Amino acid sequence: MIQKFEFHETEIAGLIEVTPFNADDIRGCFTKDYSKEVFEANGIHHDLAEVFYTTSHKGVIRALHFQRVKQQPKLVRCIWGHVWDVVVDLRKDSPTFQKWLAFDLIGDKHNEILVPAGCAHGYLVLEDSIVSYKCGEKFYGEYDDGILWNDPDIGVAWPLEQVGGPEKVILADKDQNLQTFAQFMDSYGGF
């Protein structure tokens, strides 16, 4: 079976759900998850500056991350496993400022999202997973930043019951010490 690229806009401007090209046969499957030409034919300009992968255990939360300046648009796909992926709009002039949207990114479905610059991004790992990122801007460690995953003013409804409850969550020290949304607003007032 052949599945062609499909692009679906979401309520957050510039946040696009993408179904990649995929061809299944008796050997397995062939997946093409980025094509400059096909993206541009669909009105989506996404350059590639860096590509990286993370491997995570069930229960890991990596969130809610952004670069303070030189923000990175990123095409995010769970290439193996299943993550519950979240995007928060931090663009102060956006009609969906402060809104979050979540997506089940599933290896077997090959689906992905294009996260625009000016949004925070993160995810909860529902099954051991590998996540790929195709970034339109390079990583700057000095601008690396984020907002606490459980910030009450953003209020992401993390499905923690799917990993066995809050006590099963695995967080890096740096993600336990991120700023609140209120602190972000005091410092930056949005992007």
Ligand X SMILES: Cc1cn([C@H]2C[C@H](O)[C@@H](COP(=O)(O)OP(=O)(O)O[C@H]3O[C@@H](C)C(=O)[C@@H](O)[C@H]3O)O2)c(=O)[nH]c1=O
Residues catalogued as catalytic: 65, 133
Using DSSP's 3-state secondary structure scheme, residue 168 falls into helix
CB of 108 to ligand X, least distance (A): 21
CB of 139 to ligand X, least distance (A): 3
Q: Enumerate binding residues for ligand X (CB under 6 A).
A: 52, 54, 62-63, 65, 121-122, 133, 139, 144, 172
The partner residues of 62 in beta bridges, in order of sequence, read 123
Measuring CA to CA, how many Å separate 30 from each of 19, 36, 167?
Answer: 13, 18, 38
Using DSSP's 3-state secondary structure scheme, residue 118 falls into coil
Cis preceding linkage at 64, omega within 30: yes
CB of 133 to ligand X, least distance (A): 6
Amino acid at 15: L
* Backbone torsion region of residue 174, taken as left when φ is above 0, otherwise alpha when ψ lies between -120 and 50, otherwise beta: alpha
For residue 80, give both structure tokens. Answer: 């193996």
Closer by beta carbon to ligand X, 21 or else 143? 143
